[in-house]
Amino acid sequence: MAPDQEAAAPEARILSVNADAALNTFRVSLQWQGNYDIADFDLQRFGRVLKIQDETANKGWAIIERAFQVPIAHRLPGWAINESTPPLSPGDTIPLRPDLDGDQKME
């Protein structure tokens, strides 16, 4: 392993972000390397985590409730049109929770 790879902090990469069925919630799918589970990553920074699930040893998903309302972009009589502003995008990364030491779960 190259020295710069060893120094890199563990992160989860976002595979997808989709609106969920409940109001103001979204589902995010993650993938990571190492001996971690989805609960080890700092998802709380994006809102209240309602549910998390590991799918495999290095892949999982979470449903997160947004901490804010999406602003209305245009008002028309009888309609409210908002512009989608997902807080995350595929390819973004999420670090470990601040209360976890990067070496704590590595084996």
Q: Is the per-residue pLDDT at 60 higher than 70? A: yes
Give the pLDDT of residue 68: 58
Q: What is the mean pLDDT of residues 21-35?
A: 90
CA distance linking residue 37 with residue 58, whole number of Å = 7
- What is the helix (H) or strand (E) element at residue 6, kind and residue range? helix 3-7
CA distance linking residue 102 with residue 99, whole number of Å = 10
Give 62 or 77, the one with higher predicted confidence. 62
CA distance linking residue 47 with residue 32, whole number of Å = 21
Q: Is the per-residue pLDDT at 5 higher than 60? A: no
Separation in Å, CA 76 to CA 6, 48, 73, 91, 105? 54, 31, 10, 35, 53
Confidence class of residue 4 from pLDDT cuts 50, 70 and 90? very low
Give 80 or 89, the one with higher predicted confidence. 89
